[in-house]
Amino acid sequence: AQSVSQHNHHVILSEAASLELGCNYSYGGTVNLFWYVQYPGQHLQLLLKYFSGDPLVKGIKGFEAEFIKSKFSFNLRKPSVQWSDTAEYFCAVNSNFGNEKLTFGTGTRLTIIP
């Protein structure tokens, strides 16, 4: 069975600080990887996705993530955060075969202090 671990439950940063949120997954086959963001009171929005190819993926709002297959990791990064990045961030995985459900991590709450 697939599982996703997000070890950082709550991260607090000042504006302009650099961000890295950890995501590790457990799955025996080939996977698709996703980061979603949920702003307060809103629905999940896709930040970026990895299906295949270049393991460094760039998404919206200046976010990027790197897929490291040997470490089963897909960490999210942003060089300089803004107050508007305050949100909850979810890493998710599904199999790249068969149009499958997403398995989500527990989420990381990011608070940016102005």
| Contact footprint for other proteins (CB under 8 A) | 32, 34, 36, 42-46, 49, 51, 90, 96-107
Angle at 85 between CA 83 and CA 86, to 5 degrees: 80
3-state secondary structure of 6: coil
Nearer to other proteins, 4 or 19 (CB): 4
Choose between 17 and 94: whose C-beta lies nearer to other proteins: 94
Q: How far is the CB of 13 from other proteins (least distance, A)?
A: 23
CB of 26 to other proteins, least distance (A): 16
